[in-house]
Amino acid sequence: MATEMQNSDAEQQENVKKKSLYEYFVAIALGLMAIGQWGDTKDIAVEAWQLTLSNFTHKYEYESLNHVNVGSNLDYISTHFGKPKLIKKSKYHENLNFAYYLEKKFILTLILEGDRVNAYTITGLVDDFIPYGLLDKQEKENTLSIADNYTKFQDFTLDFNNVEFLLVKEELGKEKLFVNQYVGAIGYEQNINASKAEFRGLYEKLNMDDEAPNLLADVKRLTKKVRNNFYGVGEVSLSVVADSVLTDFEYSLYYKK
């Protein structure tokens, strides 16, 4: 009975929120209609509705990101996000480039070979930004930690010097066309529920002996604790994904922090 009451309360709160958004939108649309032609007002109203969704929820951003897929081309992505704000060459693969869309709530990174998207990643920049599944495009639940987002990872990497991050790669097999999933945590300004000392200790252990017997257990333990804010899929190695991550300096420079 208590559970049913909680579910009912949650549904009522969600309905109130949707109603408030709708009323807010209608008020804007009516105001715009009063000052202009309906054709112009309709376009402005659509933009206003998108802005309203973005201000109160992440739904508009999630749906926009659903247009990105492995195998897409840059021209198609540009129809939804415009031109990339930054393009970098890979330090280790001369045929790969990284294109960045530096948004307020997230960073979308395309790993390109020519104009083809070989992989892409999304870094959430606000605590509750959790994009829909990158393959099934469905809403995800109970996926707060890195460990919540994988079944079994085959590779991991971490850094402490240029930017604090812990990333893992899971090979998804033939059912998912042999693409890889990349999940992890990147420090920047967010609280990822791990101290600098923890990252430094694990980083030093990895550099001393990458086959240390307790290293994998330590990484798995940290993935159960650290808050996930990095999501990606693609056909490239984890080292390429790590190469595409903006450093703390680059993040501060481009976001003018």
If one compares 89 and 206, the residue with the highest pLDDT of the two is 89
| Tens-digit pLDDT profile for residues 144-159 | 999 999 999 999 999 9
Q: Could you tell me if 35 and 159 lie in one domain?
A: no
Q: Is residue 95 part of a domain?
A: yes
Q: Is residue 65 part of a domain?
A: no
Q: Is residue 124 part of a domain?
A: yes
Q: Could you tell me if 229 and 116 lie in one domain?
A: yes
For residue 244, the model assigns a pLDDT of 98
Q: Could you tell me if 79 and 20 lie in one domain?
A: no
The residue among 118, 107, 52 whose CA lies nearest residue 230 is 107
The amino acid at 228:
N
Answer with the one of 25, 56, 87 that is the final residue of a domain.
56
If one compares 154 and 50, the residue with the highest pLDDT of the two is 154
For residue 141, the model assigns a pLDDT of 79
Q: Could you tell me if 197 and 82 lie in one domain?
A: yes
Q: Could you tell me if 26 and 138 lie in one domain?
A: no
- Residue 36 CA to residue 237 CA, distance in Å, equals 53
Q: Is residue 82 part of a domain?
A: yes
For the chain, the domain total comes to: 2
Q: Model's pTM, two decimal places?
A: 0.80
Q: Could you tell me if 170 and 117 lie in one domain?
A: yes
Coil, strand or helix at 115? coil
Mean pLDDT across the stretch 78-88?
96
If one compares 235 and 3, the residue with the highest pLDDT of the two is 235
Query: Which residue reads 């309709």 in tokens?
Result: 42
Q: Is residue 115 part of a domain?
A: yes
Q: How far is CA 33 from CA 25, 52, 209, in A?
A: 12, 17, 67
Q: Could you tell me if 33 and 104 lie in one domain?
A: no
Q: Is residue 98 part of a domain?
A: yes
| Residue-number span of the structural domain to which 51 is assigned | 2-56
Q: Could you tell me if 23 and 133 lie in one domain?
A: no
The residue among 138, 123, 233 whose CA lies nearest residue 180 is 233
Q: Could you tell me if 47 and 82 lie in one domain?
A: no
Q: Is residue 201 part of a domain?
A: yes
Residue 162 exposure: Cα atoms within 13 Å on the Cβ side: 11
Answer with the one of 56, 83, 100 that is the final residue of a domain.
56
Q: Could you tell me if 116 and 189 lie in one domain?
A: yes
Give the rounded percent of residues in the chain with a pLDDT score beyond 90: 60
Q: Could you tell me if 163 and 211 lie in one domain?
A: yes
DSSP for 217-235, written as a single string: HHHHHHHTTSBP-EEEEES
Q: Is residue 209 part of a domain?
A: yes
Mean pLDDT across the stretch 223-249?
96
Mean pLDDT across the stretch 245-249?
96
| Tens-digit pLDDT profile for residues 115-132 | 999 999 999 999 889 999
Residue 33 class from Cβ within 10 Å (0-12 exposed, 13-18 middle, 19+ buried)? Answer: middle
Contact in structure between 238 and 171 (CB atoms under 8 Å): no
For residue 254, the model assigns a pLDDT of 94
Q: Could you tell me if 151 and 197 lie in one domain?
A: yes
Mean pLDDT of the chain: 84
